[in-house]
Amino acid sequence: MNAHDWLRNMPVADAGDECRVVEVSFNRGSRKDFFRNTTLHHFDKGDLIAVEGVSGFDVGEVSLTGEIVRLQMKKQGIEEHDPEMKKVLRRANDRDIDTWRSTKTREKDAVIRSRAIAKQLKLDMKISEVEIQADGRKATFFYIAEGRVDFRELIKVYASEFKVKVEMRQIGARQESAKVGGIGSCGRELCCATWLSDFKSVNTTAARYQNLSINQSKLSGQCGRLKCCLNYELDTYLDALQHFPEDCDMLKITKGNAILIKKDIFKNLMWYILPDSTKHYPVTIERVRKIRSLNAQGVFPEELEAVEITSTKQKEVEPEFVDVVGQISLRSLEKADRKRKQQQQQKPQPRPQQKQQGQQRNQPPQQKGGQQHPNRGQRPPNQPGKK
């Protein structure tokens, strides 16, 4: 979860009143905590520092400094002068960074091994992430479970297997998706992975108020729960719905009972449907109130007096089909065709006598009657006078 430091360039009136607390992020920003800077060093965003840990030290990245930290602490209800707040030890040196990186390489194997152990003990839980302290003395196991899990035996096995101090921390599905991260259906990074820290309950009532179809696959986020963004505009819809009349789910007219199906807060219209008909009738709020008052008097109007909806969107003109046969000239193909014809014309034609002689050379010599020469394949006898 990232926050923009919009107070970075603002001058401080009193140097003694400067905030000496920094916000440090761990494990690629999935966990953040506040530490008191008791050193004489000034840290900037992105610096790696060594901070106090459990029986050792940990290495994290500075995410916020200055006055914006006070606002973040006030938002989370943390006192700036809390004596139990952990301290910044030093700027991380090469040895600290090497130890931290070597420890981080063990986390993936620890996740696989911890899941296998939990499965062997037949515990209904899922290990989501394992975070090991930079010095390797403590490991935090984040798990997801539907109910209460008795992991007393599991802690003993983890401590003997990984040789660390074990801390079990239960998280929800939304916290897991915040740690994993990803891209939402809107095309932007997940809110829970960037700025959203307070997870409120979301139900299908929020979708009904906003006239959204109850489609579980579209309304669910990466965590498998309803999207948190359904609550963003809910208050605006509730304020707009206060101007709509209540108890108008059914209006009585001479044709039958008109059933309310939708409220359009943008056009201030209420959509009704009549029995034995699939047509939707948009009715103004004033007309609905008038019909409701007539029904209370026992009077049934003849029609709803629906409003005609005219679309302001320009109609797209479909392009007409044009026959361009014979109008397209493929010059590259025509040029290659002419070049090939010129080469064929310039190639010399063989003479008839040379052609017959070439055919005779290719044919093997034969005797009449189909018999081969008697001396073929034999050495000729020695002639007199020749050695």
* Per-residue pLDDT in tens (0 to 9) along the chain, 387 residues: 556 666 666 666 566 677 889 999 888 777 889 999 988 888 888 899 999 988 889 999 998 888 888 888 888 888 888 888 999 999 999 999 999 999 999 999 999 999 999 999 999 999 999 999 999 999 999 999 988 888 889 999 999 999 999 999 999 888 888 888 889 988 998 988 888 877 888 988 899 888 888 888 889 998 889 999 999 999 999 998 888 988 888 999 888 899 998 888 888 899 999 888 888 889 999 999 999 999 989 889 888 888 887 767 677 777 776 666 666 666 766 777 888 888 888 876 656 555 555 555 555 555 444 444 444 445 555 554 444
- Provide the domain limits for residue 88: 15-92
Same domain, 22 and 64: yes
Same domain, 158 and 114: yes
Alpha-carbon distance of 223 to 172, in angstroms, equals 9
CA 330 to chain centre: 46
Amino acid at 247: D
Same domain, 187 and 167: no
In a domain, 148, yes or no: yes
Q: Rounded to the nearest 5°, which phi and psi values hold at 290?
A: -65, -40
- CATH code for the domain of 163: 3.30.300.20
In a domain, 382, yes or no: no
Last-in-domain residue among 155, 171, 187: 171
Amino acid at 104: K
340: helix, strand or coil: helix
Same domain, 130 and 167: yes
In a domain, 338, yes or no: no
Same domain, 203 and 149: no
* pLDDT on residue 55: 84
Same domain, 50 and 24: yes
In a domain, 341, yes or no: no
Last-in-domain residue among 154, 171, 188: 171
In a domain, 258, yes or no: yes
Start-end of H helices in 212-351 = 216-219, 234-241, 285-296, 331-346
Is 87 in contact with 51 (CB distance < 8 Å)?
Answer: yes
Same domain, 61 and 33: yes
Same domain, 64 and 25: yes
Q: Domains in the chain: how many in total?
A: 4
In a domain, 36, yes or no: yes
List of E strands, the chain: 21-26, 31-36, 48-52, 57-64, 88-91, 126-132, 138-144, 165-170, 250-253, 256-264, 269-273, 280-284
In a domain, 195, yes or no: yes
In a domain, 57, yes or no: yes
Q: Measure the CA dihedral 247/251/257/258, to 10°.
A: -90
Last-in-domain residue among 92, 115, 142: 92
Alpha-carbon distance of 283 to 268, in angstroms, equals 9
**Angle (CA) 86 91 93, round 5°:** 125
Same domain, 133 and 113: yes
Is 300 in contact with 253 (CB distance < 8 Å)?
Answer: yes
